[in-house]
A = this chain, B = another copy of it.
Amino acid sequence: MTAPKKRKTLRSDAKAMVEECAGWNARLAARCISQFLDRELAQSGLSIGQIGLMAQIAAATDDTMGALAKRAGLEQSTFSRNLRVLAAAGLIEIALVEADQRRRAVWLTETGARRLEATIPLWRKAQAKLAKQLSLALPRRLAQAAQALVVE
């Protein structure tokens, strides 16, 4: 009647972790879905991440960077850097706010707006294709619940 081997316990614990960990599963899902959409939308020349960012900007009315980052659920520093890629591509513009020189205002350029517009039908098609394999309510509910975790 010796004690069970530690390593065997570790292995089964690890297996449970892999199967059940919300973080692992959420990231795995995000990777797979992003890869799928990136491939479906490859002809647009934009990644699904960039499209999402542009949509965030297009959907906003007059927000500055901090507010946008928060709504996007991104670290302000991450948001800032991601925007630079879009700005370098000529899809958005970033400018100082007259009234408060700390702030930055962001908007789509004409080019950016056209690109986003052109991408929407492709996105709809891809999203529909996706919906055949998984319930779209799933990621939506998950995102909604997850956002509550990081209210600071």
Contact = CB atoms under 8 A, between A and B. Distances in A.
Interface of A: 6-7, 10-11, 13-15, 17-37, 48-49, 51-52, 54-59, 72-74, 113, 116-117, 120, 123, 127, 130-131, 133-136, 138-143, 145-150
Count of this chain's copies in the oligomeric assembly: 2
A35 B73 CA distance: 11
Contacts of A49: 23, 27
A138 B134 contact: no
A123 B21 CA distance: 9
Contacts of A28: 72-73, 143, 146-147
A134 B73 contact: no
B133 A138 contact: no
22 contacts: A10-B58, A10-B117, A13-B120, A17-B59, A18-B55, A20-B136, A21-B55, A22-B33, A22-B134, A22-B139, A24-B52, A27-B49, A28-B73, A29-B142, A29-B147, A31-B74, A35-B150, A36-B146, A36-B149, A36-B150, A135-B145, A139-B142
